[in-house]
Structure 1
Amino acid sequence: MDNHRVAPRHRVLKAGSIEFNGGVIDCTVRNISDTGAQLEVATPLGIPDSFWLVIAGSQTPRHCRVAWRNEKRIGVAFD
């Protein structure tokens, strides 16, 4: 399968949190690149179209916008 992404994604398994308007939802970062990431969540319901992603071990939150959603995963692009 060809990967037509702007930046190659790297598989990871890191804890993260989705933060928005005072709310926090835990997630797992499954893959990441310079331009975006794939997040695993219990459910995508209630997650807004844009939010801050905080990855364990990283000192800088990344602002994200949702590119796609399915039952347990969300694809995001970094702003």
Structure 2
Amino acid sequence: IILPDGGALDCIIRNVSDSGCLIKIENAGALPDRISVRIDLDKAARPVEIIWRSTTLAGAMFIREPS
């Protein structure tokens, strides 16, 4: 996870689809509404919007860049 201030957090990314992913992280409730995730280290980070949270999980929707 890459935070808006440039900081980074380790997490586990699961259930990746064309529209979003599931993030497993301690204290998921403290995540800001918009972050970026890097799913593959050799690819660019993708911006996401957190659409739901629980204690250790967050559902994220990929933000589509205008073409």
TM-score higher than 0.5: yes
Whether 1:34 aligns to 2:14 is no
Which runs of 4 or more aligned residues in structure 1 lie more than 2 Å from their structure 2 counterparts after TM superposition? none
Higher percent of residues as helix: 2
Structure 1 residues not aligned, in runs of 5+: 1-17
Larger C-alpha radius of gyration, 1 or 2? 1
What RMSD over aligned residues (CA atoms) do the two structures have, in Å? 1.3
Higher percent of residues as strand: 1
Amino acid at match of 1:50: R
Which structure ranks higher in relative contact order (CA pairs < 8 Å, sequence separation ≥ 6)? 2
C-alpha displacement of 1:45: 4.0
**Identity score, percent:** 29
- Report how many residues are paired: 62
Match of 2:53 in 1: 69
Q: Is the 8 A contact 2:29 2:54 kept in 1?
A: no
Structure 2 residues not aligned, in runs of 5+: none
